[in-house]
Amino acid sequence: MTDRMMTLAAIEHLCLRALVAAGASKPNAAAVARSTMLAERDGIRSHGLLYVPIYAEHVRAGKVDGMAQPAVSRPRPGAVVVDAATGFAHPAIDAGWAKFITAARENGVAVMTVFNSYNCGVLGHHAERIAEAGLLGLCTTHAPASIAPPGGRVPVIGTNPFALGVPDGGGGAALVLDQSASVVAKSEILLRSRERRPIEPGWALDAEGAPTVEPAAALKGSMLPAGGHKGFGAGLLVEILASCLSGAVLSKDASPFSGTAGGPPKTGQCFIAFDPSAFSEGFSQQVASLLGAIAMQDGARLPGGRRKAARERTERDGVPIDPALIERIEALFR
């Protein structure tokens, strides 16, 4: 069946209708719908419309409180704390955002933590948003355990990505770096499973600790960390910030993002924003020189280059979507 082309606005509206029908408030649904649209815009299908039936299922099952009202506090000048109240991460992040950005500008640096939360979508989009505010952003989020320690078999940490958003001095992002502790995001294995395609060698182990290319076996086993013990170390760093510092449930104790078992996962996020002007007068020039030294080399590319190209293409031409997926989502609000 030929893919159907959809505009970004249509994608956002489709997601909004499905989540409201599932029982989410319109403000909560709108925050998630925008995140879903941005994922499709940047060609990140694993975080796009594919997730909408899962989001809807989780709202209906009570794994996510679609009517949650986040609570925001600012216990110290540079600290913003958000209780997501077992709702979606996106509206919780939005709820604390203005205080977070203000605190960073007032103090030179600020931290916002979110707990009792859920999947926050593409982490790089939050880092990019910080950069667009003229700040240097470092974002972390953890996930239900899927990576075992080197030499072990029992997952302890999640894929635990971090993202860096670097301002360009003109209201945009000079660089957005977004990578997980695992070789590949777990959502990519979920996508391969739904499409009945094998995963790549070196992505995951099965439940017995043996290498596998079967997505179903990988989902029951563990993800492999990027760079071996160094990738696991990066995942631990994220775990300390996004879980321990925020007061969220540890990855090893969080219920899975897939399926309806286990209740709310109660995971967390940690965002750090720096005002470059508080530390250096030459920040933008240094960044431009650094990135220029990479871009000038034949065959080299900056992180995020593929997403940027996909963004330009989809903003111009729309997004190809599997009609069967559209039908599944539309069935949620018929």
Determine the Cα–Cα distance for residues 49 and 294; give it in Å rounded to an integer.
34
**Contact in structure between 221 and 107 (CB atoms under 8 Å):** no
Which band of pLDDT confidence, cut at 50, 70 and 90, is reported for residue 179?
very high
Please indicate whether the domains covering 1-61+304-334 and 69-182+225-302 agree at the CATH topology level: no
Beta-ladder partners of 175: 166
pTM of the model: 0.92
How many Cβ atoms sit within 10 Å of the Cβ of residue 158?
A: 30
User: Over the Cα atoms of the chain, what is R_g?
Assistant: 19
Report which of 89, 41, 17, 60 is spatially closest to residue 326, judged by C-alpha positions.
17
**Contact in structure between 249 and 263 (CB atoms under 8 Å):** no
115: helix, strand or coil: strand
What is residue 246's DSSP assignment?
T
Beta-ladder partners of 167: 173
Q: What is the pLDDT of residue 151?
A: 84
Q: What is the pLDDT of residue 223?
A: 86
**Contact in structure between 165 and 127 (CB atoms under 8 Å):** yes
Determine the Cα–Cα distance for residues 328 and 49; give it in Å rounded to an integer.
10
Q: Which residues are catalytic?
A: 46-47, 188
Name the architecture of domain 69-182+225-302.
2-Layer Sandwich (3.30)
Give 69 or 261, the one with higher predicted confidence. Answer: 69
Q: What is the pLDDT of residue 154?
A: 87
Q: What is the pLDDT of residues 192-210, one digit of tens each?
A: 888 889 999 989 888 888 8
Determine the Cα–Cα distance for residues 239 and 158; give it in Å rounded to an integer.
8
How many Cβ atoms sit within 10 Å of the Cβ of residue 132?
A: 16
Domain boundaries in the chain?
Answer: 1-61+304-334, 69-182+225-302
pLDDT at 142 over 70: yes
Q: What is the pLDDT of residues 269-286, one digit of tens each?
A: 999 999 999 999 999 999
On the 0-12 / 13-18 / 19+ scale of CB atoms within 10 A, 115 is buried
**Contact in structure between 124 and 178 (CB atoms under 8 Å):** yes
Q: Which two tokens stand for residue 294?
A: 């990479």
CATH number attached to the domain at 1-61+304-334: 1.10.1530.10
Q: Which two tokens stand for residue 87?
A: 């709702």
147: helix, strand or coil: strand
131: helix, strand or coil: helix
